[in-house]
Structure 1
């Protein structure tokens, strides 16, 4: 059932086995999995069924670090969460991402990739993906070309899958509405977490609409699943009983913020006749849509003290009309509006998209022109390829989310995001490109022109809007906020879900792992409550 707290129909207290705060991929997956196991769920969403400017404005904050990032518009405060505008790239984290590393400080989860494999397999269907197969060997016989003949001890071919992308609001709306065990409330903003007197357990959470309608939720267990920034903001703001914020006794909530550095640079010039057919375009194979890239062997990553990275080849054509360098926020806004209008709907965030189009009108005009000309222009040859990646950062406790004095209409302090992009992060990416270039040269396939200098330009790194790490998982309460089961170390019945629990970011887009961890958490809670 889905109800609206603004209607005034809510009782003074809602009850269930588990209270889940947030309806993005983590929250909805968790609620559905718990319901399958016979548990009753109160599911809370601070926004409405679709985009609303006044609700979205609660996400406003400041950027005080690296400024190629956004605090508010990169997230959606509405039913379905930020799945409403994710792009759909999916891959599991690598075994390397979970390992402690002596050469990378603060690296390593208290769980392994093997621990997650059964849950990754179950997560595939939530995101409308193909089978849980991410090894090139599983797909190579079905592909329309061959892998580059590189030394696999140095560089190998990597597989991602592409979700449509799944919009959780569209896919699971009816399931939530008709599930007798799920009691979902819209416009129910969490405003406090109340601990039992003299206890380390949550007694209830208080929720409110923007116009002041309030209720509380009592449950055996509580899960906050509001995203990598908001999870930290909630814990830091709930300080009526714990002045530093809940779970923040070691000053770790909000620290270790990490993102993927979106960078397109370094150019590969292949020799005539080299088969690159499987790399530049996504390929439909056996019910899956694949994106194929290059990755440095994990043993070499450790030996050379690199960060993890998957690099995808972006074709640079000899005719500009076939190049996609016009793709920016204006183009994304324009295509979003066109697609939505074609279905007879007004786009969510219409005003924001319109402003993006106006600001980047030149790029939009270029894109429209090139798409029209491509229909009649003769085929173009890819003259070169750039490497595009969402590159990993090393864990950094000084990269963080903090509170500022400015408050939102509900009385919560807004956040400042201090995203740290370091020269060392970029130099590690440069060395990764050197390994790829050397492997291509050694195989006699071509050569590479490096795009990252020995004194890196930090401005080349843009946020992938993959907010991670602010309530990181660690066995030691002095190094992490939650334990291996995602439970807040200092609270017996409070759990965090989503990318805020990531100990490292790896290089895989986080949504598949977010969904996977939610399934794993549901299995744990079904036994615990």
Structure 2
């Protein structure tokens, strides 16, 4: 493996970030014959280490950041809103592959009304593009990633072709929920998953390790290293451990990305730049690149870089049954419900219901987390394991200007740069939506006959770690950072890809929309280079 981290000469495009958005853009542009260089802040992980990382994931001595080598000095951050603390490092990964190394792997399309929230729901803003504009790119993204799904969701937006692979069969616990849902007239349907239900694209079918989040040892779950490696085969250069410190520029364009390496600092020049650092690090990089031309941060003539930070909120409920549930038999979701999603209005937002296959601890976690052994351990496992059920829900948070990512004036990272301050706020509509989701979850669980033992709702909700909105797209340069083609309004050779461009978040896991937008943006970047 090469450790040459020197700049690439005559680069057409410099992509900053090797997560799903950056990887897809790099692969598409390399395939078009462009000279592409990718700068990634974190390391390239050895795939042979994934079993060891799986072991870390199930041992209580390790925290989530330890699984993918989180660095407290490199990744330090601040959350300045005391009312809504944001645990940024709990589920982020810096490295080649980015967040897809540890993600759950659910890939839904946004609904049609998600693109027209202001017009259809009376809140938020409308996107400058509609579902019809993104629809062919959704299909392309599903083929690129490899999605297992079915056409059994009557509430989903229209599609043009079947999913690339058949859906995973409903789990045993899904079957327990099905009768209760039928009795209370709630429809269940399959979950589209970015994991192989059969051999696909040279990767094996899922073999059931069950540790999907935060590590899939088999490679059956898609991660962005697939497209990073493909881009390299097509001639792209990927430089890891190369955090970009700032972007050199004049009033109209970027000239170079200045990046640090273990061996020193370098300048990567290119004709065009694509920033794909995620919803926190993308605005941070732009703010770190302030200058005389852009005293408030690069591409920030609107003053909105970092503003409108959004996440999805979690609502959950669970308990126990007086019968086996095979908890943790499947490590991902196989059933959900979008039945209430399009009821959204000004008062209650969109949400989707999830039926957990992994409620309660696994037997391994239970055993490792206790002090007992032998017969005592066996008796405790029989008593505590195997009868738990749970439900979840994702809830939309509206964009608000007082929810933002900024530079902290006092803290710096291991390179001496100001760290991100994630100042997270949550709107009242989201809290009402959490209450509504909890009401439906309780109805289902009581119909199931469960003894409810836990609830996550308005008072103790938390984020889903989907960082959105901080460089929003729009037609008006005074009200957005990038246009409908994801090029910045201020700079003629700078594009931003990723969920930071979402004007609103909906309540669907964002990665498929990230991928679709990245494929669409790659076309526009390539066209501008001709």
Q: Does the pair score TM above 0.5? A: yes
2:509 maps to 509
CA distance in 1, matches of 2:145, 2:475: 30
**CA distance change for structure 1 residues 374 and 483 in 2, over 3 Å: closer, same or farther?**
farther
Q: Please point out which of 309, 322, 330 is paired with 1:257.
A: 309
2:140 maps to 122
Give TM-score scaled by structure 2 length: 0.74
1:338 maps to none
The total of aligned residue pairs comes to: 464
Give how far 1:234 is off. Answer: 0.5
* 8 A Cα contact 2:304 2:479, kept in partner: yes
* 8 A Cα contact 1:21 1:223, kept in partner: yes
* 8 A Cα contact 1:225 1:496, kept in partner: yes
1:22 maps to 2:23: no
**Going by fraction, where is strand more abundant, 1 or 2?**
1
1:208 maps to 2:260: yes
CA distance in 1, matches of 2:526, 2:502: 22
2:338 maps to 295
Classify the secondary structure of the residue corresponding to 2:335: strand
**CA distance change for structure 1 residues 509 and 368 in 2, over 3 Å: closer, same or farther?**
farther
Q: Please point out which of 33, 37, 51 is paired with 1:42.
A: 37
CA distance in 2, matches of 1:33, 1:119: 13
* 8 A Cα contact 2:28 2:231, kept in partner: no
**CA distance change for structure 1 residues 440 and 84 in 2, over 3 Å: closer, same or farther?**
closer
**CA distance change for structure 1 residues 450 and 192 in 2, over 3 Å: closer, same or farther?**
same
Q: Deviations over 1:155-174 (max 9, x none)?
A: 54354223346353653454
* 8 A Cα contact 2:498 2:517, kept in partner: yes
CA distance in 2, matches of 1:75, 1:425: 24
Q: Please point out which of 420, 425, 431 is paired with 1:415.
A: 420
Give how far 1:434 is off. Answer: 4.2
Higher relative contact order (CA 8 A, sep 6+): 1
Q: Which runs of 5+ in 2 are unaligned?
A: 46-66, 156-161, 196-215
Q: Please point out which of 382, 399, 421 is paired with 2:403.
A: 399
CA distance in 2, matches of 1:282, 1:40: 42
CA distance in 1, matches of 2:327, 2:71: 41
Give how far 1:43 is off. Answer: 1.1
CA distance in 1, matches of 2:374, 2:125: 47
1:229 maps to 280
Q: Please point out which of 215, 236, 243 is paired with 2:295.
A: 243
Q: Please point out which of 153, 158, 171 is paired with 1:135.
A: 153
CA distance in 2, matches of 1:411, 1:445: 55
CA distance in 1, matches of 2:167, 2:379: 30
Q: Which runs of 5+ in 1 are unaligned?
A: 284-288, 316-322, 336-360
Give how far 1:104 is off. Answer: 4.7
**CA distance change for structure 1 residues 369 and 149 in 2, over 3 Å: closer, same or farther?**
farther
Give TM-score scaled by structure 1 length: 0.74
**CA distance change for structure 1 residues 73 and 440 in 2, over 3 Å: closer, same or farther?**
closer
**CA distance change for structure 1 residues 72 and 472 in 2, over 3 Å: closer, same or farther?**
same
* 8 A Cα contact 2:318 2:391, kept in partner: yes
Which structure 2 residues correspond to residues 3-402 of structure 1 after superposition, within 5 A? 3-5=3-5, 10-11=6-7, 14-50=9-45, 57-65=73-81, 66-67=83-84, 69-101=86-118, 103-130=121-148, 133=151, 135=153, 148-149=181-182, 156-164=187-195, 166=221, 168=223, 170-172=225-227, 174-180=229-235, 182-196=236-250, 199-219=251-271, 221-240=272-291, 241-265=293-317, 291-302=334-345, 305-314=347-356, 324-326=359-361, 364-365=369-370, 386-402=390-406
Classify the secondary structure of the residue corresponding to 2:334: strand
1:499 maps to 2:499: yes
Give how far 1:178 is off. Answer: 2.8
**What RMSD over aligned residues (CA atoms) do the two structures have, in Å?**
4.3
Q: Deviations over 1:373-392 (max 9, x none)?
A: 59996999968x54312222
CA distance in 1, matches of 2:374, 2:138: 42
Q: Deviations over 1:292-350 (max 9, x none)?
A: 12234455223x732111112348xxxxxxx84347xxx9xx87xxxxxxxxxxxxxxx
CA distance in 1, matches of 2:367, 2:169: 41
Deviates more, 1:247-256 or 1:372-381: 372-381
1:461 maps to 2:461: yes
CA distance in 2, matches of 1:265, 1:379: 18
Give how far 1:41 is off. Answer: 1.1
1:425 maps to 2:456: no
